[in-house]
A and B are shown apart, each in its own frame.
Chain A
Amino acid sequence: MSCQVSGFHATHMRLRGMIRKEWLQILRDPSSLAIAFILPLVLLLLFGYGVSLDARHIPLALVVEQPDAQTASLTGAFERSDYFTPTRFSNIQAAQLALKTHQVDGIVWLRNNFGCCLLAGDNAAIGVIVNGVNANQARITEGYIQGVWQTWLQNQSNAEGRDLPIPVTLEHRIWFNPAMRSQDFLIPGLIAVIMTLTGALLTAMVVAREWERGTMEALMVTPIRIWEILIGKLIPYFVLGMGGMLLTVAMARWQFDVPLRGSFWTLLGSSALFMLVALGMGLLISILAKSQFVAGQVAIIVTFLPAFLLSGFIFDISSMPTAVQAITHLVPARYFVAILQTLFLAGDIWPLVLANSSALLLISLIFLVLIKYKARKRLD
């Protein structure tokens, strides 16, 4: 037994062996590198460009039944606006047909009595019709039309030198994202969604792969401890996952120009915590599934859709029914989305970062306990 080491040295040697083996496999097998780097890259590009809620150049029908100076100044206001691409129509029927055939998304209708009503001080009515199929876009379009109209009203009365009889005006200050660029909040959220998927897929597939190729059996009859196998697996994929994370953060910052107002180290710390959760989830899946196919399927189902829908990345959590809101607390991405949106747009806001980080810590601990409980150095 003189040529066998023991105790701490043995543990160290076994861990080193596991980690070195995993690294060699990562470097030789393109699939894990693809999951860690190519998948996030492609998804981020696709989502980053494909998902945007900022409407620009909304096609709008302007119906002017009797053109005069008043209507010309109002239509001019719409034409100057960046939000609209107006088309002129002379009668409402033609405009309505255009709305039905999706050539325009909204109609602004100035009836033939508009000019004289306005001059007479009669409360002239402007008809606005929007296509309400996409309710969110319809609301935004409506808001933009209101904005253009109010500015025009203000200018109109200023020009005529009379006070606008408006009792209350609403001034607004939009913090963190005054330009209201939807990409600035969608992309940090996307990082959370994508990293949930890649992190879980990475570990879910690699442990299941050992089962499938029969190497797990050989591994288990060596003196290695189960926790050494798990740590030996976690460390390399943690490094790999963090690599993917940094790649997506760099792309967010420089490709999509999302400002990063918090500190890099806070970002790194919370990302590390989240990566631990995602890898732990994958590890648990693969311990329970034992085949790459099932593990991959489960990983996609339990990570991607919940992270997409229930994390608050695109749909607001506080507007969901209470039961659904309760479920969102089980989705780790929810906490990471909150952290990322804050770190990118607002800065190091410690109460929020700490609260969400402790939730992540708690979840990762639960996963580790479950893994410890479920992982046996046995085949049954």
Chain B
Amino acid sequence: MSILHHIFALATKEFLAVLRDRRSRFVLIGPPIIQLLIFGYAATFDLNNIPLGIYNEDNGAASRELISHFRGSPHFQIIKRVERDAEITPLIDGRQTLMVLHVGPRFSAKMERGDTAPVQVIVDGRNSNTAMLALNYARSIVLDFNRKWSGRKGQAGPPAHLQVRAWFNSNLESRWFIIPGIVGLLTLVVTLVITALSVAREREADTFDQLLVTPLRPTEILIGKALPGMVIGIIEGSFIILVAVVWFDIPLRGNLGALYLGLFLFLLSAVGVGLMISSLAITQQQGLLGAFLFLVPAVILSGFATPIANMPQVVQTLTYLDPLRYFLIVLRGVFLEGSSIELLTDQYWPMALIGLCSLALAGWLFRHRMY
């Protein structure tokens, strides 16, 4: 019984310490909201209004029709008509347009004859991802144009065609991919900052010594310190999940049990890592730096923005140490794919393992880390 009383007293004190401090209250509320909004709106790979230049040397109806297809697309915005070859280079070099569509002088004539008429696009390849996506959009506009043209002229289409369907995210909105990731990212940041500073703050104020000379056992201190991080993490996580569903309209297809089991285990590992950093640090500054040094690689190697499969093999092996990696799969699985608990077992146990190991190490460090 006394264990429960001790833990309760410690956890109450930790909560009060966090919530009564104006700055840490702000850390809990300010950055998550700002980041959620900025990430939600800024972090997208979707391209809208790609600035397009048109260089049309042909005066026929066919070329006008093709260009009107581009004009009608939400992805492109024609911002410049080019008259001469020499105008293309400064346009692309100066980043005024990402792409220039060049229609040759005899385009309409060829089309009328039923010949294949080539058009050319010049793409600014400085950002290869944008370039590739823009090219894909242009390609599908041309395909669409071809189908309509052939249909009207009664020509036979190609012998086969692709029927493309995307599962789980049929309109391929990157927001659906990024925002469930933010749930993981922000809960990690918040719990890490709370826990990574909790021991260091007490060390700096000398109150940690005071704690260690009381009859509290290291395990009790550990649990008492971990509990507030877990509770705040769950509240914060739930809030972000709510915003994702209500504000950003992200579908939540799986069951909440699978999601919250993942959240719990992830918080266990995040709190463990946070307390480990905290018990290694002597000052709050070291704690903050430690949290940052863990956070940056953890986010990059989690597959949050770029897929793990694209990384070199060595780096991929390293990602197995990153708890966020597993939680992101759980999040996206439950949100978009409706995955069940059984399907996600392989993600749950590594998080639990990381959590237990780091908590055990943190507990050991409490007593053995002395200056």
Contact = CB atoms under 8 A, between A and B. Distances in A.
Interface of A: 43, 46-47, 49-58, 99-102, 114, 117-118, 121-140, 142-143, 145-146, 149, 153, 156, 163-178, 180-182, 184-185, 292-293, 296-297, 300-301, 304-305, 309-310, 314-316, 318-321, 323-324, 327, 338, 341-342, 345-346, 349, 351-352
Contact of A167 (B120, B146, B337): B146
Contacts, number: 290
Contact of B164 (A101, A142, A163): A142
Given A137-B307, A315-B44, A143 B132 contact: yes
B216 interface: no
A49 B311 contact: yes
A133 B132 contact: no
Contacts of B155: 165, 167
Contacts of B161: 123-126
B61 to A, nearest CB: 13
Contact of B296 (A43, A49, A136): A43
Nearest to B165: A129
A328 B32 CA distance: 19
B169 A132 contact: yes
A168 B310 contact: no
Contacts of B312: 49
5 contacts: A49-B311, A146-B162, A164-B116, A177-B125, A292-B285
B162 A126 contact: yes
A118 B116 contact: no
B85 to A, nearest CB: 13
Contacts of A338: 95
Interface residues of B, number: 95
A322 to B, nearest CB: 10
Contacts of A309: 38-39, 42-43
B90 A351 contact: yes
A316 B130 contact: yes
A359 B51 CA distance: 22
Nearest to B49: A318
A144 to B, nearest CB: 10
A200 to B, nearest CB: 13
B121 A132 contact: no
B122 interface: yes
B176 A135 contact: yes
Contacts of A139: 45, 133, 136, 172
Given A53-B129, A175-B122, A301-B31, A314 B305 contact: yes
Interface stretch (B137-145, B206-214, B236-244, B260-268): B137-145
A118 to B, nearest CB: 5
A175 B124 contact: yes
Contacts of A169: 116-119, 142
B160 A126 contact: yes
A167 B289 CA distance: 60
Which of B42, B123, B162, B177 has the most chain A CB atoms closer than 10 A to its own CB?
B42
Contacts of A297: 288
Given A54-B310, A133-B336, A296-B289, A128 B149 contact: no
B112 to A, nearest CB: 10
A316 B300 CA distance: 18
A118 B156 CA distance: 13
A90 B124 CA distance: 42
A172 B111 contact: no
A73 to B, nearest CB: 12
A170 B50 CA distance: 18
A4 B90 CA distance: 60
Nearest to B315: A49
B119 A168 contact: yes
Contacts of A323: 41
B122 to A, nearest CB: 5
Given A165-B156, A296-B285, A316 B127 contact: yes
Interface of B: 31, 35, 38-39, 41-51, 66, 90, 92-95, 111, 116-133, 135-136, 138-139, 142, 145-146, 149-150, 155-170, 172-174, 176-177, 283-285, 288-289, 292, 296-297, 300-301, 305-307, 309-312, 314-315, 329, 332, 336-337, 339, 343
Contacts of B139: 143, 146, 170
Contacts of B133: 136, 139-140
A165 B157 contact: yes
Given A123-B159, A167-B150, A172 B292 contact: no
A122 B364 CA distance: 72
A175 B150 CA distance: 32
B172 A138 contact: yes
B169 A168 contact: no
A133 B48 contact: no
A138 B45 CA distance: 11
Given A301-B31, A352-B93, A172 B156 contact: no
B135 A172 contact: yes
Given A132-B168, A296-B285, A173 B159 contact: no
Contacts of A133: 168-169, 176-177, 332, 336-337
Given A55-B307, A101-B343, A135 B46 contact: yes
A185 B123 CA distance: 14
A120 B188 CA distance: 58
B159 A153 contact: yes
Contacts of B127: 185, 316, 341
A139 to B, nearest CB: 6
Contacts of A315: 42-45
Contacts of A318: 48-51
A123 B157 contact: yes
| 10 A-B pairs closest in CB distance | A132-B169, A132-B166, A177-B125, A136-B45, A174-B125, A124-B160, A135-B172, A52-B310, A180-B128, A135-B174
Given A128-B165, A309-B42, A135 B173 contact: yes
A90 to B, nearest CB: 20
Contacts of B332: 133
A319 B46 contact: yes
B128 A134 contact: no
Contacts of A165: 150, 155-158
Given A51-B300, A138-B169, A143-B139, A173 B126 contact: no
B212 to A, nearest CB: 23
Contacts of A100: 337, 339, 343
